[in-house]
Amino acid sequence: MIIKQTICLFTVIIMAITNASSAFSSSIQEGVISISKQIIADMPSSEKQKIAVIDFLDINGQSTEFGKFLSEELIAQLFNTQKFIIIERRMLNKVIEEHKLSVSGMLDEKTVKQLGKLLGIDAICSGSITDLGSSLKINARLISTETGSIFSTASTHLKKDDSINKLLGKSSAISSGNSNNPILNIGKLVLSSTQIALGLLQGISSIPYYLSTSLYNINKGLIDANAKLTLDDTYESAYGKRISEVPESGDTGEVFRRMKHATKYFQKILKKYGEPNYDKYILTSIDTFTDKGYTLFAVIYRPIQVIKVIDKYDARTVREFSSEDRLFYEPFEKDMNNKPIDMIIDWAGLEKKYMSTQKGQAILMTMAANSVLNGKKSPEYWDIEREWIAGKFLDIVNEKMDNVRKKMGL
């Protein structure tokens, strides 16, 4: 019965979108409000329906600022009608990350059904955005979590205005090939010894700029810069191999998947090089936007092995974590009694692809260890984390990478 009601309900939504598609909306807000009003007018009197709305993707299947904004506006309008129960975005992202699900591109039947079971929802709303020059075409699809099949589709158009153009501009800052891209042509970038030394001062946020430079040259640049710990030291301490024994790819068959395993390697390095509190330094990550391709990494000092904290995503649930728990490897500013816990040494918002190779991971641990041994501190992290979780991850990545690029003289 619920699925029939859901199909009926979302048919109303799609009819509203279809009716609106015959004319151009003058703004996003006007279009979304119009859709919302039509839904309310035709709503059957029944119990609230539980749904999830995911980001609308561009034609290449990529998440954009505009797509995120569009879905957020739709969520807000539908919620305000008091006719829907809508899954909170952070909870949705948390489930996606914990169960390693992918919601990029076309949703497959298995993922849709699994999300339905995990979240207890009746349907998922997704869509795509096509840039037609002076306007945008929005295609929407509703997917039943019982069958995994698309049961309704629709399309509408939005005239571009200043607000839309601004959002479209922000969405292309990383993925486009324009001259303002802070990581433009990064795949071809080979650093000089001076640039390697300057990158060392920037810590782990400089990692992407190193990846096209050979292991030998990175190591030599670090030696010339009098780094406390070199890439050779990292390979020997963490993996038991000198850099002369490692192929140019940097791959010796030891790639970590979790921060728990990364921390074990990291602590081995610090212990080898005389850090007395080596076991209190941890590599962490905030994975709320891993499905979008981005992760917020941090190097922290945590003096205790078991923590009791307030869940940073729902701001009310008390949780206890030890080193065996995955979420132990997230930073926490304060414990449940509001007492400080973690000190942030260094941080970086990065595309996760840069951490998918052993070379990238070895550079991460080398830079992180130098940050520790040099006494670096990054108290600004907590404000950054809050903005990241709130959805401003692209702005954070762009600003940080652009700043690092300039300081490295690139």
Q: Can you give the pTM of this predicted structure?
A: 0.58
Query: What pLDDT is stored for residue 80 in this prediction?
Result: 76
Tokens coding 383: 């404000």
pLDDT at 154: 58
pLDDT, residue 337, reads: 95
Distance CA 38, CA 202 (A): 53
Burial of 172 (0-12, 13-18, 19+ CB in 10 A): middle
DSSP3 helix / strand / coil % (the chain, rounded to 5): 50, 20, 35
Cα–Cα distance, 52 to 120 (Å, whole number): 10
What SS3 state is found at 391? Answer: coil
Q: What is the DSSP letter of 248?
A: T
What three-state secondary structure class fits 343? strand
CB atoms within 10 A of CB 386: 12
Which 8-state DSSP code applies to residue 334? B
* Positive/negative CA dihedral, 340, 341, 346, 348: negative
Distance separating alpha carbons of residues 162 and 155, to the nearest angstrom = 22
Query: For position 186, what pLDDT does the model report?
Result: 61
Residues of the chain with pLDDT under 70: 1-26, 31, 34-46, 60-61, 102-106, 142, 151-155, 169-189
Q: Per-residue pLDDT tens for 242-270? A: 998 998 889 999 999 899 999 999 999 99
Instruction: Tell me the domains of the chain and their CATH numbers.
Output: 2-175 (3.40.50.10610), 186-407 (no CATH)
**DSSP designation for 63:** B
Strands 318-322 and 343-351: unpaired
Among residues 114, 120, 123, the alpha carbon closest in space to that of 144 is found at 123
Average pLDDT of every residue of the chain: 82
Q: Residue 204: which residues within 8 A CB-CB, separation 6 or more?
A: 297, 299, 346, 347, 348, 364, 367, 368, 371
CA distance 79 to 279: 46
